Amino acid sequence: MQRFAEGKRAVFHTAAGRPVEDELTHLSRAAAAVLGGGLRDLAARPFTDWEDALETFAAAAQAEPLLLVLDEFPTLVDVAPDLENRVRAFWDRARTQAKLRILLLGSALRTMERIQTERAPLYGRIDLSLLVHPFRPHEAALMLRRLKPADRALVYGLVGGVPLYLEWWDQRASVRENLLRLVCTPGGQLLTEGELVLASELDLSDLGRRIVYAIATGRTKFNEIQQVVRTDPTRTLDRLGQLRIVEKVVPVTADPRRARTNFYRIADNLLAFWLGIVDKYRAEIDRGLGRSVLPVLVSDLDDHLGDRYEEAFRFHLRRLADAGELGEGIVAVGPFWADQPQQVEIDAVALAGRDREAVLVGESKWARTEDAGRLCRVLAAKAQALPNRATDLRYAVCARGRLTNVPSDALAVTAADIFRANAA
């Protein structure tokens, strides 16, 4: 929003859960820096209530456009429950009479969705609703320029694409030094963030929390989740999917509406790391055993990061497909598995055309070095299980660092390709 507001008259206010009078005082100071020079000294005479603030902004926007940004709006509503009604009453009166625009920002998804529902005061008055997604692998890499590509992949696999988490990572320090500071120290930012996300920003119910923990500990199939929570989890699983906490995974060759073979995974990288690794050591870290826990935690990373790297690999293939580099008519890229006649798993399959023919199969390894020729031979054998495949099937092989013995017709991918720091 700051970038969007460059070159515009804009007042920014970030709510912090202060009493209403204090919130208005901080808003007055922010406004004084932008609206200074008028008859009213906002620093000396701050806003007395929300009507006073909104009418002042409308008056200042009579001749020249003004942008008002209210960040962490859910927190503001918590301390001023009538704010939505006041904004509605003001907006119905002033929207056509002033060149004022208001941006409401918030990370509590449920609250931001609620204010747009039919019975909410602001229903019908919001011109644009935009869900801001975390950075994707190639975008996150732009915040990690000082790191080697393999380390960019590691950081992304642990914290995902939220810029705040990427900023916490000290690119001048080693992986162990970062994990000691962020995770293995009482009060460490990543140590506490997972619980904060579950408790506040995502506002999960008790059932949602139990489902998330069940998936994180390996109960990934519907019937396994149901056995753990002892109730029908369907609606809550759907809600967790909407919040991008949990993702339902089906074989790419199956119809997601009818597929019986599926499982659930934690979609967010930070939550997957926190729930899958950090949380089991959290009590001992809080008791002061962080340095002792650190090498054990580090030894868990390779097993954890393989799945996260596979998804980054699939995303890279989707980018190539969108750019036309995997051929024409690519309609899907995803994992494939089958249990009959024998168990087969393929990390990535690209389907093309109306008949969804497999035109590319891919294998990803969280390894520094891999023999690409061997991986292609393994893929050729696995591809026999695909229900519909091209005769000129292409192979894509991926490692974290380096690939050897790459066949001339294979697509070779490393972390340097997925996490390229000079991406457009």
Q: What is the pLDDT of residues 191-239, one digit of tens each?
A: 999 888 887 645 556 888 899 999 998 999 999 999 999 999 999 998 8
| The two structure tokens encoding residue 278 | 């950090």
The predicted pLDDT at position 165 comes to 96
The predicted pLDDT at position 3 comes to 86
Which helix (H) or strand (E) covers residue 104, if one does? Answer: strand 100-104
The predicted pLDDT at position 200 comes to 61
Q: Is it the case that residue 340 has pLDDT exceeding 80?
A: no
For the domain made up of 312-418, the CATH class stated in words is alpha beta
Q: Is it the case that residue 99 has pLDDT exceeding 70?
A: yes
Length of the chain: 424
| The two structure tokens encoding residue 145 | 């320029």
Amino acid present at 30? A
Q: Is 420 helix (H, G, I), strand (E, B) or coil?
A: coil
**Model confidence, pTM:** 0.87
Q: Based on the number of CB atoms within 10 Å of its own CB, is 378 exposed (0-12), middle (13-18) or buried (19 or more)? A: middle
Q: Does domain 10-114 have CATH number 3.30.370?
A: yes
The predicted pLDDT at position 204 comes to 58
Nearest to 52 by CA among 27, 76, 73, 71: 27
The predicted pLDDT at position 205 comes to 67
* Spatial CB neighbours of 77, under 8 Å, sequence gap ≥ 6: 83, 84, 111, 115
| The two structure tokens encoding residue 207 | 């059932």
**Structural domain boundaries of the chain?**
10-114, 137-306, 312-418
**Average pLDDT for residues 373-379, to the nearest whole number?**
96
Dihedral sign of CA atoms 49, 54, 57, 63 in order: negative
Q: Is it the case that residue 424 has pLDDT exceeding 60?
A: no
- The Cα 46–Cα 21 span in angstroms is 9
Q: Does domain 137-306 have CATH number 3.40.50?
A: no
